[in-house]
Amino acid sequence: MTDHQHVRLTWPELPASIHATVENILGGCVVDAQSQANGFSPGSADRVRADNGRSAFVKAVSRERNSDTLDLHRRELAVLRMLPESLAVPRILGSFDDGEWVALVIESIDGGHPSETPPLPEILAVLSALESLPKIRGCAGWAGLPDATAELDSAFAGWRSIRSEGRTELLPDAANEHLDELEQLAASAVRGVHGDYLLHLDLRSDNILLDDTGRAWLVDWPWAGVGVRWLDALTFLLDARLRGSDADADEIIATHPLFAEADDHAINAVLSGLTAYFLNAAQKPAPENMPTLRAFQLSEGLAGLSWLGERLGWTANR
């Protein structure tokens, strides 16, 4: 991923009240803080270590820095409190919220993100973690999570938005040549994501850690929702293709148990919806203090267009 350190807050820039909260949780003084460059949040993201050897991952942001990110931190805190410890998800250790700053103190996982070009074993480790996510619709304790169909309804309407707002000239040639087909596919995408399972809904390599046993841990949960079991796996395979993985994503879809209930039309429809979201978002101004986000969304959209071209039998520009 692109280096994002130039847009992140760092540990020394955080208020003393957050430092004190973290040290109280860890039971010792923080003697080391390493900023984590991956991701797009304009807030801080630090692995910290106290003088007693305890460690944590701390993420914090102020309302002034980016109010949307502050709200997402609060949302993630609520999600992390719901998640059972049996899942491959770091535990929440504590938090800070004074109305202007929000900080999450999370279990630190000793590991790193997947390889820049993820090989098949790493991809299968991620899919194994996704297989552990439970069926939760109608279950007690999960009422606060949104339905994926509601969350993605406007996102999957990207082709329609681009056309209605007269922005089609900004699309790649392949998208313009097949716009009617792409829009028709995306129109059924929302129905395709309806389901009963816990979803991450923002799964890509920088939201995954692999420990030294090869186990994949899923991090950054503000967008969690309820939907079809294979959706996170599809978004991760799209990200792996973007990164040049030589794993055969279509073969994985055809054979992996996560995709047992997925048919080709549903996969193509959701891919079209995702591609529409990314290419539509890429045409908009960058959010506050997040200057690299739009370029990333463009690259994801082009990867989705290329994959759809292969699956539908027409050539798409990468």
Domain boundaries, the chain: 5-108, 112-312
CA–CA dist 3, 233 (Å, integer): 25
CA–CA dist 109, 121 (Å, integer): 20
- 5-108 and 112-312, same CATH topology: no
CA–CA dist 167, 163 (Å, integer): 6
Helix (H, G, I), strand (E, B) or coil at 161: helix
| CATH code reported for the domain at 112-312 | 3.90.1200
Task: Give φ, ψ of 102 to 5 degrees.
Answer: -130, 135
Are the CB atoms for 60 and 36 separated by under 8 Å? no
* Residue range 5-108 in CATH 3.30.200.20: yes
Helix (H, G, I), strand (E, B) or coil at 104: strand
| Residue reference for tokens 């606060």 | 144
Digits of tens for pLDDT over the chain (318 positions)?
333 334 789 999 999 999 999 999 999 999 999 998 777 778 999 999 999 999 999 999 999 999 999 999 999 999 999 999 999 999 999 999 999 999 999 999 999 999 999 999 999 999 999 999 999 998 988 988 999 999 999 999 999 999 999 999 999 999 999 999 999 999 999 999 999 999 999 999 999 999 999 999 999 999 999 999 999 999 999 999 999 999 999 999 999 999 999 999 999 999 999 999 999 999 999 887 787 889 999 999 999 999 999 999 986 443
For the entire predicted model, the pTM comes to 0.92
